[in-house]
């Protein structure tokens, strides 16, 4: 059984607020939430949503992970995932050391295929398998790039760095995820690939989405588009441009700029209409369905929960959608249903996310806080909720 988490996010917020020598009213005056909302979160009567936590972190000038308690070390150790992080960290540090003659590499075509397969595994939320295979792929590709640099090899190495980013983000190692993005930029420059450069800006923008610095995030979105200005109007470039607009939509929503969010959604929908389902282009999941999912997220981030639920119910997820995206949909839907007091429906959505992607759901802070909120809202904790709470470490 997971170790009970008595240090919930609200308690950590209270501790950090006191270290900053702020009263509850003073902190409430610095965030776009009421004094009552803050007091309820601190005492555990209300879950700390990801947007609320980001706002507090920004006001206190600390990392979000200080408040969320990430990475969740106990669960990582139980799942034997913690032991996989150090080899990833070491592989990321090889980039500027030149060739290592002691490294035996697979053929270039085989390594390129291996980098692609890692993307597939992450989309399928096979995080343990992907994390275990990743260090060797990065190490071998790094050596091969130094021995016989070629555009396709640099692109494959950039893809492996992107996988390192995806895995470490999902497991809560955000410092290492930022290192992976730096390496992605390094490889993209050597590949002279404007689409990879634009994609990196998208992922960098999401860092500031998590941290509550939406102005910087939106600047990165604009920067990503500037990389693509020189690119041809290929399907790849259009898909990356569309994904940048989707990132801009949720950043603008968090910044409470409804018109900008709507404009980004409209632009993304135009690109999706031109490229169709481009989910396999850099494995960004871009396409009409992803635009619908982000439109729902925009309503949720602006706390228009009735509208978000209406949109959620109208979305039909295709059978072939990435497992990671399917689980994310159910996590978002669970939060919306919880906020509206639909506790049974919310719990069903959390279970749907768990069935689809257990590793991703267990380490998703939004899922954990939704479960905490459901526990508080339930007069009697049903067995299914108690089981879920224990599983996420409450």
Q: Measured between alpha carbons, how far is 63 from 57 in angstroms, rounded to an integer?
A: 6
Q: Average pLDDT, stretch 1-15? A: 68
The answer to whether residue 23 sits within a structural domain is: yes
Q: Average pLDDT, stretch 293-301? A: 97
Lowest mean pLDDT among 34-43, 291-300, 339-348, 378-387: 378-387
DSSP letter at 286?
Answer: B
Q: Look at the chain and report how many structural domains it folds into.
A: 2
At residue 382, the pLDDT reads 82
Spatial contact of 117 and 125, defined as CB atoms under 8 Å apart: no
At residue 231, the pLDDT reads 59
Q: 383 or 120, which is more confident?
A: 120
Lowest mean pLDDT among 43-47, 100-104, 289-293, 385-389: 43-47
Reported as a pLDDT band with limits 50, 70 and 90, residue 182 is: very high
Reported as a pLDDT band with limits 50, 70 and 90, residue 233 is: confident
Q: Measured between alpha carbons, how far is 143 from 141 in angstroms, rounded to an integer?
A: 5
Lowest mean pLDDT among 188-197, 289-298, 311-320, 380-389: 380-389
Residue 6 has pLDDT above 70, yes or no: no
Residue 354 has pLDDT above 90, yes or no: yes
The answer to whether residue 239 sits within a structural domain is: no
Among the candidates 51, 69, 87, a domain finishes at: 69
Residue 128 has pLDDT above 90, yes or no: yes
Cβ atoms < 10 Å from Cβ of 52? 23
At residue 45, the pLDDT reads 82
The answer to whether residue 252 sits within a structural domain is: no
Picking from 182, 266, 183, 199, the residue whose alpha carbon sits closest to that of residue 236 is 199
CA–CA distances in Å: residue 49 to residues 25, 128, 305: 19, 27, 13
pLDDT for 241-272, tens place per residue? Answer: 999 999 999 999 999 999 999 999 999 999 99
The answer to whether residue 295 sits within a structural domain is: no
Stated length of the chain: 394
pLDDT for 48-100, tens place per residue? Answer: 888 899 999 999 999 998 998 889 988 999 889 999 999 999 999 999 999 99
The pLDDT mean for the chain works out to: 93
At residue 353, the pLDDT reads 97
| Torsion region of 103: left, alpha or beta (phi above 0 gives left; psi -120 to 50 gives alpha) | beta
The answer to whether the pTM exceeds 0.85 is: yes
Reported as a pLDDT band with limits 50, 70 and 90, residue 359 is: very high
At residue 102, the pLDDT reads 95
At residue 8, the pLDDT reads 83
The answer to whether residue 382 sits within a structural domain is: yes
Lowest mean pLDDT among 22-31, 202-211, 371-380: 371-380
The answer to whether residue 15 sits within a structural domain is: yes
Residue 230 has pLDDT above 70, yes or no: no
Contacts of 328 (CB under 8 A, 6+ apart): 293, 353, 360
The answer to whether residue 347 sits within a structural domain is: yes
Alpha-carbon Rg for the chain in angstroms: 21
Among the candidates 69, 95, 112, a domain finishes at: 69
Lowest mean pLDDT among 2-11, 64-73, 145-154, 166-175: 2-11
Q: State the residue range of the domain holding 348.
A: 322-394
Residue 7 has pLDDT above 70, yes or no: no
Among the candidates 49, 69, 89, a domain finishes at: 69
The answer to whether residue 387 sits within a structural domain is: yes
At residue 3, the pLDDT reads 37
CATH of the domain at 13: 1.10.260.40
At residue 4, the pLDDT reads 39
């Amino acid at each position: 059984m997971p170790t009970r988490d008595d240090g919930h996010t609200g308690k950590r917020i209270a501790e950090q607020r006191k270290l900053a020598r702020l009263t509850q009213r003073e902190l409430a005056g610095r965030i776009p939430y009421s004094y009552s909302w803050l007091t309820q979160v601190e005492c555990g009567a209300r879950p700390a949503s990801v947007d609320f936590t980001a706002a507090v972190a920004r006001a206190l000038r600390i990392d979000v992970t200080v408040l969320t308690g990430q990475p969740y070390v106990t669960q990582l150790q139980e799942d034997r995932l913690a032991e996989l992080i150090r080899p990833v960290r070491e592989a990321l540090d090889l980039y500027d050391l030149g060739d290592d003659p002691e490294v035996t590499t697979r053929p270039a075509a085989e390594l390129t295929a291996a980098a692609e397969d890692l993307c597939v595994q992450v989309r399928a939320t096979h995080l343990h398998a992907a994390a275990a295979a990743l260090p060797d792929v990065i190490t071998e590709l790094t050596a091969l790039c130094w021995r016989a640099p070629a555009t396709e090899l640099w692109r494959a190495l950039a893809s492996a760095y992107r996988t390192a980013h995806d895995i470490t983000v999902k497991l809560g190692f955000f410092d290492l995820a930022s290192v992976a993005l730096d390496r992605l930029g390094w490889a993209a420059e050597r590949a002279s690939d404007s689409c990879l450069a634009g994609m990196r800006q998208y992922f960098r923008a999401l860092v500031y989405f998590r941290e509550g610095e939406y102005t910087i995030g939106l600047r990165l979105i604009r920067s990503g588009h500037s990389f693509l200005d020189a690119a041809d109007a290929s399907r790849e470039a259009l898909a990356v441009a569309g994904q940048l607009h989707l990132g801009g939509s949720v950043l603008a929503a968090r910044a409470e700029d409804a018109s900008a969010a709507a404009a980004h959604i409209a632009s993304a929908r135009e690109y999706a209409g031109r490229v169709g389902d481009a989910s396999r282009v850099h494995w960004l999941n871009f396409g009409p369905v992803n635009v619908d999912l982000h439109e729902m997220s925009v309503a949720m981030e602006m706390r228009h929960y009735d509208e978000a639920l209406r949109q959620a119910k109208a979305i039909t997820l295709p059978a072939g959608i990435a497992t990671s995206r399917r689980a994310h949909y159910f996590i978002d839907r669970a939060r919306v249903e919880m906020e509206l007091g639909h506790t049974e429906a919310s719990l069903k959505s959390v279970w749907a996310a768990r069935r689809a992607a257990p590793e991703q759901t267990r380490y998703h802070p939004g899922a954990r806080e939704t479960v905490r909120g459901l526990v508080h809202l339930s007069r009697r904790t049903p067995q299914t909720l108690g089981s879920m709470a224990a599983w996420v470490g409450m």
